[in-house]
Structure 1
Amino acid sequence: MARRAVTCNLLTTAHTLVARQQIHKTRLRPLDPGSSCSSSSSPQPPTFISRSFSTKTIASLSTMAAADNASHVPTAAPWRDLFVKHLATMPVATFSLATLHHTPAAGSSGDGSTAAEAAPRVRTCVFRGLFGSLPANDRNPAQRNPAVFESELPVLTTDARMDKVGEILLDGSGGGQVEAVWWAEEPATQWRVRGTAWLLGPDIDGDGDGARAAREVLRRRMRRRKDNAEDNEWSWSREVTAHFGNLSPVMRGSFRNPPPGTPVADPATPVGPGLGLGQTVDDLDDPVARANFRVVVIVPTEVDQADLSDPKRARRWLYVYRGGASHKPKPALPGGEVIGEWEKVEVWP
């Protein structure tokens, strides 16, 4: 039962993203969800989380969170500790990341005057820890930031030339809708983290609009540790370099690969100078590799935890981000409980 449920959810994750994007961007045309994981032969339309909660209700929570985010001290998410504990049981904490790939509608001119189509894209990524809490690694030659911040913002790394980068970028720095799915086999629990993704690159300390937007969004969700009141020694670019150094020399060398996804034998896309497979990089400031290296940070707005350890009594909880408020808000979901900045509600699995 557990494995079948996980497979079904992984197959529908990207279609759920399509449905959510249609809610916020009506210019997107609905996609046929294709084959369903259910035994019914009739395809079911993509749905948002639980049919019990309307899109209007969830959207109102996001609006309240945005209004309260202006000035507040973030608190730890109630799901954070268990999430970290479960991921620690995985030999390699890989996960599936779903994004939306936008293409002009059939027959359109491509100038944006007609509706765009959104198609799901899913790939396997490696979890690189929570932002601000880079795991200790004796082989990492990079200078580390002082332990000033912590968060519940999952991190992955990618190549700037990958398709996922364009799917994440909305305003030059990120903000694209994503969903990340982990299956922790030992505790038999699936974690689905939905939210937006933001890119950190060589210009993250700069004054560009994209860099400023990313810093602003992430900083609102980062917490100072109790024993560290000052953050003037903490650097965004140092954090990016530390993630680059945390990779093996061969993995760093992969950012000197030929452009990902381009045809090997296409003369129109020749391999540039210095690019090639199987390279190793020891220099943390290697200009080619660093130009292509990006850190991706996911900012969760919803977390879906499905505990399938008991086949006869599976349980599931939904956490919705409510943001910081000067007073404890009342629950907005039936049976919900507000815990810090999040509302928790148990739903049927």
Structure 2
Amino acid sequence: MDSPEFVFSTVHPTTHEPRARYCIFRSLWAELPDNSRNPATRNERLYESDLLCFTTDKRMSKVGELCGVEGLVNGSGGGGICEAVFWIKGDVMVQWRIKGKAYVIGQDIDSEGGNVVKKELMKRMRVVGDESKQEGWSWGRELTGHFGNMSPGMRASFANPPPGQLVNEPYDDKHLKLGGQVEDLDDAVARANFRVVVIKPTVVESVDLKDPESARRHVYRFDDSTGVWSHEERWP
């Protein structure tokens, strides 16, 4: 994919209204690609997963929707239901729909506050490296790796004025502004708002529309009791 956009849908925790927006797929969790322009210290490759990642600002509505209560956005959490849809056009012509739950990783992920999120995500992380090095693998280092993987301008977007707020309302204009550049990976303002969202899929559907005469829908379901994906082939 030239640009890995997808539609990410959530449900408002009180009104139950659907919410949808475009996001950018960054990587599978624990599999952030090498990037020579990423200045962050990286974890050694130890895990693989089927957990899709994207980045967001804690002030965006999706974070509160995933946490169930819009006020609980200051740390790691989530577990709200979600769907993600990719449409691969051109010569491919395949739609992918991922259904599951999404978890939010924040600055507290290496503390007790991140234990619930880590427990849920570890269920779907598979060791592919040296098992003896698991204690040295850092969730916080992985989070910083995602922050460093963005351009300085994109990092600075996490220190923008409050998203969605009226422009004539007061805000912390000493620290929040548009069009900045952040080189420091520990920038206090930007890092306070930066989050990685990790989708834990339970059902994956692909609809292949490339050839009208052989179009198919493939449905994959994850069985928690066995850790195995089942597969069904259906009409599109």
* Normalised TM-score (structure 1): 0.64
The reply on whether 1:312 has 2:210 as its aligned counterpart is no
Q: Which SS does the other structure have where 1:95 is aligned? A: strand
**1:223 is aligned with what amino acid?**
R
Match of 2:56 among 136, 142, 158: 158
* 2:30 equivalent to 1:132: yes
Match of 2:3 among 87, 92, 98: 92
1:192 corresponds in structure 2 to 97
| Aligned-pair CA distance for 1:273 | 2.3
**CA–CA distance in 2 between the matches of 1:324 and 1:136?**
34
Amino acid at match of 1:308: L
In the alignment of these two chains, the number of paired residues is: 228
Report which of the two has the higher share of strand: 2
Structure 1 equivalent of residue 126 of structure 2: 223
1:119 equivalent to 2:17? Answer yes
Given that 2:43 and 2:138 are in contact with CA atoms closer than 8 Å, whether structure 1 keeps it comes out as yes
AA partner of residue 98 (structure 2): V
Which residue number corresponds to residue 175 of structure 2? 274
1:58 matched to which residue of 2?
A: none
Structure-1 residue corresponding to 2:78: 174
Cross-structure match for 1:292: 193
Please tell me whether Structure 1 or Structure 2 has the larger radius of gyration of its CA atoms.
1
SS at match of 2:64: helix
Identity percentage of aligned residues: 49
Q: TM-score, normalised by structure 2?
A: 0.93
Give the CA deviation at 1:170: 3.2
1:194 CA displacement: 0.5
Aligned residues of 1:321 and 1:343 also touching (Cα < 8 A):
yes
SS at match of 1:240: helix
Amino acid at match of 2:183: D
1:101 to 6, 9, 12: 12
Which structure features the higher share of helix residues?
Answer: 1
Deviations 1:251-282 (A, max 9, x none): 0000110010111112xx42442100000000
Aligned to 2:136, the other structure's residue is in SS state coil
Structure 2 unmatched runs, 5+: none
1:324 is displaced (CA, Å) by 4.4
Cα distance, 1:223 vs structure 2: 0.3
Stretch deviating more after TM superposition (152-161 or 179-188): 179-188
Note if contact 1:323-1:342 (Cα within 8 Å) is conserved in structure 2: no
Structure 1 residue 102: Cα displacement = 3.3
Amino acid at match of 2:9: A
Counterpart CA distance in 2 for 1:145 and 1:258 is 32
